[in-house]
Amino acid sequence: MAAMATTTALSSNLIKASAFHGTPVATSRVTPIKSQQQQSQTISMSMATPPYDLQSFKFQPIKESIVAREMTRRYMTDMITYADTDVIVVGAGSAGLSCAYELSKNPSIRVAIIEQSVSPGGGAWLGGQLFSAMVVRKPAHRFLDELEVAYDEQEDYVVIKHAALFTSTIMSKLLARPNVNLFNAVAAEDLIVKGRRVGGI
């Protein structure tokens, strides 16, 4: 589908759109027009037979105790390993993830990200005001190019189809790095200050 931009033409129709005062508000008609830059994108889908038979699909049996031990052991191992780390990023929103991504390019720097919510990403799953698209001002689009996130290019900004494309991409690439770990459901309550410098949390 070609990239689209919208132009708004004021309609003469008036409706009572205010729930509080019943004041007539001018409605607007949105007419789509083609963007000056059309980028043809091809989506390829594989129609090959899946490597499993859904009719006879069955999970291997596993004890709940094994699941509990695996999760607990790995979490505690990570917590012990990253108790003494180089960088702690508080918050796994778009700013925290971007910061951790840049810092972790140096493989000798260990980065621990803590997020008080069970779901990382903060408000970056939406573009703002509960809308899906994410608007990014130039030249920050170069960061999107590095992440290989597709966007619709405008003159001074770019638009990502859905903010979740940015968040899921940076998160998956970041967590694939061996020097990065994310701790969900962990909140920073206080700072450790030594010699007028923050030395930990």
Span 72-129, pLDDT tens digits: 999 999 999 999 999 999 999 999 999 999 999 999 999 999 999 999 999 999 988 8
Q: What are phi and psi of 75, to 5 degrees?
A: -65, -45
- Judged against a pLDDT cut of 90, whether residue 18 lies above it is answered with no
SS3 70: helix
Angle at 28 between CA 24 and CA 33, to 5 degrees: 180
Looking at the chain, the domain(s) classified CATH 3.50.50.60 span 85-201
pTM of the model: 0.71
pLDDT tens across 39-69, in order?
A: 555 555 666 777 888 888 888 999 999 999 9
Q: What's the confidence (pLDDT) of residue 15?
A: 39
Q: CA-based Rg of the chain, rounded to a whole angstrom?
A: 24
- Judged against a pLDDT cut of 50, whether residue 28 lies above it is answered with no
**CB–CB of 151/136 below 8 Å?**
yes
Share of the chain above pLDDT 70, in %: 77
Can you identify the CATH homologous superfamily of domain 85-201?
FAD/NAD(P)-binding domain (3.50.50.60)
Provide the residue type at 92 as one letter: A
